[in-house]
Amino acid sequence: MPRVAIVTGGTSGIGRALSAALVRRGDTVVLTGTDGAAAARVAEQVAAGGPGAASGAELDVRDAAAVGGLVAGTASRYGRLDLLFNNAGVGIGGRIEELSLAHWDRAVDVNLRGVVHGVHAAYPVMVRQGAGHIVNTASVAGLLPNPGFAPYAMTKWGVVGLSLALRGEAASHGVRVTVVCPGGVDTPMLDRGMPPDLPRLPSVEAIDVRTVIRKLNGGRLHDADDLAADVLRGVDRNRPIVVAPRQARIAWRLMRLSPSLFLRLSQVLAARDPDLRSATGVAAPATGELPGRRLSGGRER
């Protein structure tokens, strides 16, 4: 049976790939973006991939009333809401000493409060239906420490916590919850830079963000369409967490096995690579050893 889905941040990258994959499965998708004309144009392009349908809507997820109105309108129009993909997000990073409160506020307002607004609007609808699935896009940055990306990482850790806590409550109502934690994905976000209305950050302007993210993810970026397939497979199987691609899952397992070792390795890698060192401000060790350790005769001391 075709499903009805809302995808926020659906005009490019992961959101567009999810919307296209859903339409190819025969679902009806309402994809949103802050630019209404762009959302309508992308919806038309996505719909051409049928057999499902797509429409576009202008939406700023920071506006709780607007999110509530879109959810209520969609549920009323189609008689139900089966899937909500809280996918809209913004990349905010930089050295902490350079960040203004405006940077922190934007990250929280879009990446975290935007998800809260979606949950607050859609969850009661799904509870009344006795069914539905909320899918929140976090990041592998919500599972692993990411020096140089503190505002982004902070909000994505929050999305992971919200999602897993909600999943425990929602199950008794027939509502499912999945959180998506992708590694580096090849999307336009990597090339956009900081939102233009925020103060400039020297540490960010001095680096190629795409190069840094690729190096942090083992030298390659995951394709957005491949990630969409990973996500929908995880949704179909009701996975609590979807981590992709494989190198992101390996890093996550290492972090769970030994957080202290993962932190030391991350610092060493950042210190040794000029691009990562520029992004994070981590000083290169004079000896090239693990920070905080000295080696003598092959032994730690």
- In the set 85, 149, 152, 157, the catalytic residue is 152
* DSSP run (H or E) holding 122: helix 113-129
Query: Are the beta carbons of 221 and 209 closer than 8 angstroms?
Result: no
C-beta neighbour count of 245 within 10 angstroms: 21
- Which CA distances in Å does 154 have to 24, 146, 195? 34, 9, 18
Are 164 and 136 within 8 A, CB to CB? no
Cβ within 8 Å of residue 266, ≥6 positions away:
144, 145, 147
- Rg of the Cα atoms in the chain: 20
The C-alpha atoms of residue 176 and residue 14 are separated, in whole angstroms, by: 21
CA 43 to CA 37: how far, in whole Å? 10
Specify the residue for token string 């202008």: 58
The structure tokens 């970026």 sit at: 221
Compute the distance between CA of residue 1 and CA of residue 5 in angstroms, rounded to an integer.
13
Q: Is 78 a catalytic residue?
A: no
**Residues designated catalytic:** 152
